[in-house]
Structure 1
Amino acid sequence: MTRNTVPGTLSEDIARAVAGLPDVAFLKPDLAGRLRSALSRAEPAAAASSAGVRLTGPADGTGSWHVEIQLVARGRARTVDVARAARRAAEEHLAAALPEQTAKARVTVTVTGLV
């Protein structure tokens, strides 16, 4: 991991990259995000939440990174194409942020719904 890369920031950056894809409706929010949005009357932030992205790094620094992405796709697109695009976007972002560990990274994308 590079000196300037923090897992939380990396997760947020990946979330922004995936949420910006044309056929991604939104990232699946976690329970805290759902409760926060239910209790809040304010508009949600424009920035992408990292709730739909879970990033786990190697505990000892020698293992592999694992990125799990859960998203809801638009119904007009083929689900497999959306999942592939999301995976590609995450892999490209990881390659830029962690060039020395890209070969060790594993990205899993789950499309949890269609709208």
Structure 2
Amino acid sequence: MTRTSTPATLVEDIARAVTDVPGVAFLKPDLAGRLRSALAKPERTSGTAAPPGVRLARPQHPDGTWHIDIKLVAYSRTRAVDVARAARRAVTTCVASAASENATVRVTVTVTGMI
């Protein structure tokens, strides 16, 4: 990553890295994101809305484990397991430059659908 890593920029970088993985159709919004988009006015003035399908939990414990949860939809012409593995590698690579050397990263990728 070339810019300073804040949680918001890190989530954006992770989302970009995952959507660049071959076989990923799009990131899946959670229920709150769906309700927000259905009920709220579609204004994006500050760009502070978190990308759908990416949840990041910063280290709270001394061990420094980062918890990253990815939910995505893959193309049906691909194997879900291959797409999930490639997405996991992309996230791990993306976070490696932002995390401290002794921090561990736990990445969970869920393929929620195929199109």
SS at match of 1:97: coil
State the match for 2:38 in structure 1. 38
How much has 1:96 moved relative to structure 2? 2.0
Q: Deviations over 1:29-86 (max 9, x none)?
A: 12343234435796xxxx9x62201111211453300111000000000011000010
AA matched with 1:33: G
TM-score, scaled relative to structure 1: 0.79
State the match for 2:92 in structure 1. 91
Asked whether the equivalents of residues 71 and 111 of structure 1 are also in contact (C-alpha less than 8 Å), the reply is: yes
RMSD of the alignment, in Å? 2.6
User: Aligned pair in 2 of structure 1 residues 101, 30: CA closer, same or farther (>3 Å)?
Assistant: farther
State the match for 1:52 in structure 2. 53
For structure 1, the residue ranges without an aligned partner over 5 or more in a row are none
**Percent of residue pairs bearing the same amino acid type:** 58
AA matched with 2:94: H
AA matched with 1:105: V
State the match for 2:27 in structure 1. 27
State the match for 1:107 in structure 2. 107
Of Structure 1 and Structure 2, which has the larger fraction of its residues in helix? Answer: 1
Equivalenced residues, count: 109
For structure 2, the residue ranges without an aligned partner over 5 or more in a row are none
Distance 2:25 2:35 in 1: 20
